[in-house]
Amino acid sequence: MNVEFAPLLMEPAYRKVAAAIGARILNRVLPEGQRLPPETELARQFAVNRSTVREALRELESRGLVERRPGSKLMSVSRPHTAAVAQGVSQALLLHDVTVRDLWEALTILEPPLAQLAARAATVADLSLIDAAITAYLANAKDTAQAARCTAEVFRAIGCATHNPVLRLAQEPLLQLLEPSLSVMIDKVPQARSRIATAHRRLAEALAGRDEDGAHNWMGRHIRDFRRGYELAGIELGLRVAARAVTVPANTGT
């Protein structure tokens, strides 16, 4: 029996340099905030051209592992922002033809337990941020796009209150996909704005009262209301989710 082997992949030198630096970052040998040596010094250490080092740093920067801070000529170790990482995931989901039903089912599974955890873990500062997000919704509810954006911000604030980066990263791609379909629903269902406001108020009360069951139940009811709103708006649950036409939200705590 003849066995054939695939040709070895010849990686460009800059990728080998990027992999070596990236490994030190991911292993915490190079901590966040640590400044890297100048390009000339890195070139000397790796025995490569400076242009090779520059290309490696660009790759690491695109991955969110290094950044050039204001006023500094040197790259520093950083960590990818939740929103930026999530944007790549949400784009991948769009290309996999995620539907409104898929999104609603995922939110149904994720959001109620997340709210329950937030009721247990939220600090006074977290509760203030949640209240601020709810106030922003009330102030902008008449503007459909802003109402959808502010609703997503309430979810984000609750997610941050869990202090669980895994849950935040799982939540953010869904919220980025939620806004477009939520905008359409809010625009077509007159009572949607007031029902969202009611759910926000009840969630805030449950969170402030450390009522874990209440937070879980009200978030579940809130998500179920979205599906009812889609049905009233005549939005087919099998419809593919559209890309949102806004910038990536500001990083919030992670």
At 245 the pLDDT is 60
At 20 the pLDDT is 96
Q: What are the contacts of 223-229 at 24+ separation with CB within 8 A?
A: 223/104, 223/107, 223/108, 223/111, 223/112, 224/108, 225/195, 225/196, 225/199, 226/104, 226/107, 226/182, 226/185, 227/104, 229/185, 229/186, 229/189, 229/192, 229/195
At 133 the pLDDT is 97
- Biggest CA pair distance of the chain: 74
* Sign of the torsion formed by the C-alpha atoms of 57, 60, 65 and 71: positive
- pLDDT tens-place string over residues 124-172: 999 999 999 999 999 999 999 999 999 999 999 999 999 999 999 999 9
Closest CA to 60 of 80, 43, 74, 44: 80
Quick one: average pLDDT of 162-183?
Answer: 93
In the block, residue with structure tokens 């997000």: 133
- pLDDT of 1 > 80? The answer is no
Task: Please name each of the domains of the chain with its CATH number.
Answer: 13-77 (1.10.10.10), 82-233 (1.20.120.530)
Considering only residues 180 and 138, tell me which one the structure prediction assigns the higher pLDDT.
Answer: 138
Distance (Å, whole) CA 130 – CA 149: 14
- pLDDT tens-place string over residues 50-103: 999 999 999 999 999 999 999 888 999 998 888 888 888 899 999 999 999 999
| Residue 183 structure tokens | 């905008």
In the block, residue with structure tokens 């997610």: 159
pTM of the model: 0.81
At 180 the pLDDT is 87
Neighbours of 56 (CB within 10 A): 27
At 49 the pLDDT is 95
Query: Are the beta carbons of 65 and 77 closer than 8 angstroms?
Result: yes
